[in-house]
Structures are given as C-alpha cells and as structure tokens.
Structure 1
C-alpha cells in the first residue's frame, strides 16, 4: 500500500503542479487558441467583413535588397485588387536596387520609388523611410511589408481590405517563414509561430498590444493624429510594434489570419540576423503600455514553474516508491502536452505552416522562454546608445 501513499512534501508539490496546470489550461484555451477559433468562425460565416475595397498604398522600405526585390516585388505588384499603388523607399543604392526599380516602373505604372537622403542623421533611417513612404502615399489605407516577404497569394490585399470597416484603423496580419532545414530555422519558426499566437491572440481577445511590420495595415489619418513616431523618435526601433502599442484599441483593431493573406520570409540562415531582430523587439517591449506584456510574462513563469513542479513531484514519488504520486505528476504533464500539441498544431495547420510540432514541442516549450530571457539580458548589458537613433 506504500506505493499509493504520499507524504506532505509530495502533496504540496503535486498541489502546486495542479494549480499551475490549471493556469496553463486557461492560457491555452483563452489566448493561444484564438487564431484557430477565428479560422473556424470565418469558415462558419460567423465573422463580419466589409464588401468595400478602398484604394491602398503598399509601402516597402528596403536597404541593399535588390535580390529580395527581384524575388518578391512582382507578387506584390500583381495583386488582384482594383486600385492600389506600391511605394518602395530605398535606403541604399550600392546594390543597384535603384536601377531595377526604375526599369520595373516602366512595366508597372502603379509602382513608385524614392530614397532616404544620404545626409540624414540623428533619426532612425527605417523610421524616416516609413515616414517618407507615408508622405508620398496617395491613399488613406496603407499596408506595410518587407522586401524579403512574399505574399502567399494574389488575394493578400483583398483579404486585408475586408477588415477595413468604418471603425477599423489597424489590421494585424500574420507573417511566417518558408519551410527550411536546420535546427536554427526550426527554433526561429516555432518562436515566430508562438509569438504570433500570443500577440494576435491578445488582439483577437480585444487587447491588442503590438504589431509586426511584415504584414500590417493602418490608416494614414491615424498616423498623423498620433503625430507619427514622435513619442519614440529617439529610438532606433519601434516603427511597428511600439507604434501599434500606442495606437491600437479593442475597438479600432482587427486581425487577418487567412492562409492566403500570409506573407512569408525565406528560411533563416544566419543566427546573427535573428538575434538582432529579437534583441531589437526586446529593447522596445519594455516601453509597451498595458498589462499584456506582464500577462505574457506570467504565462512564461507559470510554464517554467509547472515543468519544475511536475518533474520534482515525479522524482520524489519514484525515490520514495510512491508510484501513485509519480503517476499523477506525469499525467499532469501528459494532459498539458496533449492540449498544447492539439492547439499549436491546429493553429499551424490553419496558417499552412507545413510543419508539425509533436516530438520537438517539449524542447521548444522550454527553449522559447530561455531564448526570450537571453534577449532581455542582451538588452541590459548592451550600451543604451545601441538602441538610439544614429
């Protein structure tokens, strides 16, 4: 009968694991399942969209990206949309992007391009490029993406525009990676998926707090009402996530996650590029308004604590030959893993990620918060001047 008994320590640790398990259940069902729930609602016709297709200005900022322009720009220019323009702001001419854009403008009359003056100093060149694109745009609705992003269909703009209701001022879209190989790429792809499940989940729950400029739309009127990037003009980053954090509200923000409205980046090849991007977002995240960042941090803390408590309870149970306690601890892990695998993989399927997460899921589940902590530590020890305008 000793195998079915437990001491007070085991009971306390199991109770803690059980409480943390319930917290994790709430997060996954109420937050991380939002994208899948929305996809199901759209298929069932339970989501309202507008039928109007207002003119759109697509703005792309580039820097030494002639190869990306040759690879992806035609897919943007050939969107099935009644009236739109594409504005490319070039931040460097050393790779002959200017020549290619000039040639392309002869074929596509709705393509325009300009450049960031070489003499520009003491302001983020990316923010300056965005502001130049906005100033040059003809239309109120602006859609932003990057030169390395390929729309997954010619319906991208139509699907983003179906969210342009009279009350809407911000539309958040999903951006992912193309399928690739290697451990680095798998880590980055999962991190991107999970991060999107988090910030898009909050937006779908009525608490938007950030956006990513690879697939993002907002009104020019909103940009000018908020005085552009003036609230954080001293920062090198923040032209997408921090700006959206300041302007997005439950009433003015919508999310588009249809698979045909996704833009994809090429597979990740260099760890340094990914690290710099993540460090950049970590440097602006500390300035976010609202409780969402703290709620996300609490989920991460409860996740790590859950893994610590169920593992400790199982080990203690095994050492004391209390197999019931050990079995209950493992059952908690198994139930959470099953729920997590179902939600993550259904979301990945909805987003046509072409990758499933089963055997790697427990590894990434622990690795993802460790990576996030690493980016934050980098921010603490890097000189503040590295995040300021130059």
Structure 2
C-alpha cells in the first residue's frame, strides 16, 4: 500500500513539474518565438554615444574597434573608449586610431577606484563624458554584426523608451563546447527577451545594451551596486527597467559578435562570475527564475523515477507533451536569434541543462571576484 502511494506521488510530482515548464514556455517564452516588431513608417536618428571600457585589450581593440568606428550612421555620434589602467599597448593603439577617426574620444584612467568594484567606475566616467543622451554599450571583445548596428539599436528609442536590450551572440566555431556556449547564450536570451515582452524585464547584457543618459543619472548611476564587482549591465537593468520603458531589438543586423572561450576552464570561470549577481535581483525576478530553474532541474530525474516505479507508458505523455512544446518554441526562437543550427542537438541540449545547473549552482553562493579583468 505504501509503495503504491509512493509511485503515484512520483508521477504526480513529475506531472506538476511538467505543467510548470509548460506554463513558462506557453506564457513567457512563446512571446519571443512569435515576436514581430511593429512596422515603423519612419526611422529615427538620435545623437548617440557609444561607450567601450577596456583593460589590457590591445588585440581586441585592434580587431574589433574599427567595426564600431565604421558604422553607417547619418547623424551625430561619438565613440568613447575608457582605457582602464591598461599596461599593454592599448594607449598607443588608441592614439593612432584617433588620428584617423576624429569622432573617437579616449579616457585614460591611471588609478584604481578603491571603493568602487568592477567595471562600474570606468563605465561611469564614460557616461559622464558622453555628449549625447542615447548611450550604446558594447565590449572590447565584441564587433557589430553589421554596419547598421548603431542605427538599428538607437531606432528603438521611441517616446517613453529608456532601455533597449540587444543580443550579444558568440561566433560559430567547430567543437561541441562552442555549441554549449552558444546554447547557454541563447537560453539566457530566450528568458530575458521573453520576460521583457511580458512586461517583466530583469536583465540585459553589456555586450549589446543601450539606455538614456538621463535614466542613468536619475537613478544615481551604479551607487546602489558599487559594492558588487559585476552587475554593471544586468543589475542596473534589473533596477531601472520597467514594462513601459523597455524595448528589445533582435534584428540580426543589430547583434554583436564575440569570440567564445576555447577551454572548459575559462568558460566555467566566466559563467561563475556572471552568476554571482543573481542573488541581488528583485525578489519577484528571483522567484520566477528560481521556479523555472528548479522545475527544469527536477524534470528528467522525476521522469526517470516515474518511468521506473510508476508506468513508463503514462510517463511518456508528460515528457512527450513538454518536448513538443519546447521543440516548437526553441526552433522558432533559435531562428530569430540566428542560432538555428543548434536545433539538431535539441534533446541533447535539453538534457545538458540538468548537468549545467549542477555545475553552476555553487556560483550563487560564491563571493564575487573583485576585479572585472
């Protein structure tokens, strides 16, 4: 009798977890899959300040900065590079580029801000010196996917919009690690884009993010998160973004591209650093993200137990339904974000997420590293 109750309990728990997953996919993530931007009769051309913070990035600056400087844009814009205490040849490289590109401004920082951790001080200095209201951010290791990146991102600043979330993609390279990195990037974007479309924006990525300078100063910049090394992108967006002031831009011409890490060790270190900020999100966001993660983590173990101890034929119904819904939404969303080649690995990547959460769960309790480089 006890065994029968236990068997049913496992199946009911598995069914409940499946329903939670279906709720997230049908209520939230479907929004990105079916998203169609509103047709605009006329584009806008705001004056824009592009800001890039760099520390010991001479090779990346040489490789990627020209892609930012050569954007096709018909009105006023500037590119500000904050060279943060670099000891490589960045200073000389930037001085040489300034001779050719007069719209580029360089801010040389030669002292550390002891009470402000991470990238926030150099970024704040760049925003302070920016001449224009629209601020567009990217990183030194990123290059715009097209010469229309600047135009596409700034065009989303319609009346009332103060934050624009873009997609920072990774280059497609050989190897399975590359697929895992790009899938994790896609899966994260699926969440923050879909939540924004549902009126619950909670993060953005500094590789491709824009907001108004006035918004930054009205919220006293990073003052409330200066003690946290990272979070200059996601925590700031978590604080200031609302359902009414946030838009997304997923035109492929508006993506940025980065070269992903090439070793497992480097990637896990990078992701661990990023996850240390999640504990500082708003409570409602932590609840929604935590419930989704927990249900994803429990899904395959409960399926296995249900198939073994209950009835494998009944257990196929919830898993089949979930895989059908997830597959349809992933396929459409991957196509929108230019990651459609990943879909052939759909089931492998879905199972991989169980192990992914095991690997990175400890990062939620780690103390963040104090340096951003």
TM-score after normalising by structure 1:
0.87
Correspondence for 1:349: 335
Distance 1:238 1:50, change over 3 A: farther
Correspondence for 1:67: 59
1:367 has 2:352 as partner: yes
Q: Secondary structure at the match of 1:254?
A: strand
Mapped to 1, the partners of 2:364 and 2:342 lie a distance apart of 32
Q: Is the 8 A contact 1:65 1:147 kept in 2?
A: yes
Mapped to 1, the partners of 2:342 and 2:361 lie a distance apart of 28
Correspondence for 1:4: none
1:297 has 2:290 as partner: yes
Q: Is the 8 A contact 1:176 1:265 kept in 2?
A: yes
Distance 1:264 1:98, change over 3 A: same
Mapped to 1, the partners of 2:314 and 2:41 lie a distance apart of 47
Q: Secondary structure at the match of 1:33?
A: helix
Mapped to 1, the partners of 2:112 and 2:299 lie a distance apart of 54
Distance 1:15 1:93, change over 3 A: closer
Q: Is the 8 A contact 1:172 1:253 kept in 2?
A: yes
Mapped to 1, the partners of 2:65 and 2:108 lie a distance apart of 17
Q: Which of structures 1 and 2 has the bigger CA Rg? A: 1
Q: Is the 8 A contact 1:116 1:128 kept in 2?
A: no
After superposition, residues 270-349 of structure 1 pair within 5 angstroms as: 270-317=263-310, 325-349=311-335
Give deviations 1:75-101, integer Å, cap 9, x for gaps: 111111122111111124432111111
Pairwise CA distance, 1:342: 2.1
Mapped to 2, the partners of 1:379 and 1:53 lie a distance apart of 41
Give deviations 1:340-381, integer Å, cap 9, x for gaps: 1221122111111252234x333432433543454341453x
Further displaced range: 52-61 or 282-291: 282-291
How many residues are treated as equivalent by the alignment? Answer: 370
Q: Is the 8 A contact 2:163 2:211 kept in 1?
A: yes
1:16 has 2:1 as partner: no
Correspondence for 1:36: 33
Distance 1:288 1:144, change over 3 A: same
**Please, which runs of 5 or more residues in structure 1 have no aligned partner?**
1-6, 318-324
Q: Is the 8 A contact 2:331 2:340 kept in 1?
A: no
Q: Is the 8 A contact 1:127 1:229 kept in 2?
A: yes
Q: Is the 8 A contact 2:230 2:368 kept in 1?
A: no
Mapped to 2, the partners of 1:263 and 1:104 lie a distance apart of 21
Pairwise CA distance, 1:304: 2.9
Distance 1:340 1:49, change over 3 A: farther
Give deviations 1:165-224, integer Å, cap 9, x for gaps: 120111111111100122332222111110111111111110011111110001111111
Distance 1:273 1:95, change over 3 A: same
Mapped to 2, the partners of 1:375 and 1:21 lie a distance apart of 23
Q: Is the 8 A contact 2:118 2:230 kept in 1?
A: no
Give deviations 1:243-290, integer Å, cap 9, x for gaps: 111111111111111111111111321334323332222222111114
Q: Secondary structure at the match of 1:264?
A: strand
Q: Secondary structure at the match of 2:341?
A: coil
After superposition, residues 77-88 of structure 1 pair within 5 angstroms as: 77-82=69-74, 83-88=76-81
Correspondence for 1:3: none
Mapped to 2, the partners of 1:68 and 1:290 lie a distance apart of 37
Mapped to 2, the partners of 1:191 and 1:329 lie a distance apart of 28
Q: Secondary structure at the match of 2:232?
A: coil
- 199, 209, 231: which is aligned to 2:192? 199
Q: Secondary structure at the match of 2:229?
A: coil
Further displaced range: 163-172 or 308-317: 308-317
Distance 1:49 1:161, change over 3 A: farther
Give deviations 1:27-54, integer Å, cap 9, x for gaps: 112222222221xx23xxx456873211
Correspondence for 1:58: 50
Distance 1:378 1:23, change over 3 A: closer
Distance 1:48 1:31, change over 3 A: farther
**Please, which runs of 5 or more residues in structure 2 have no aligned partner?**
none
RMSD: 2.4
- 96, 99, 108: which is aligned to 2:89? 96
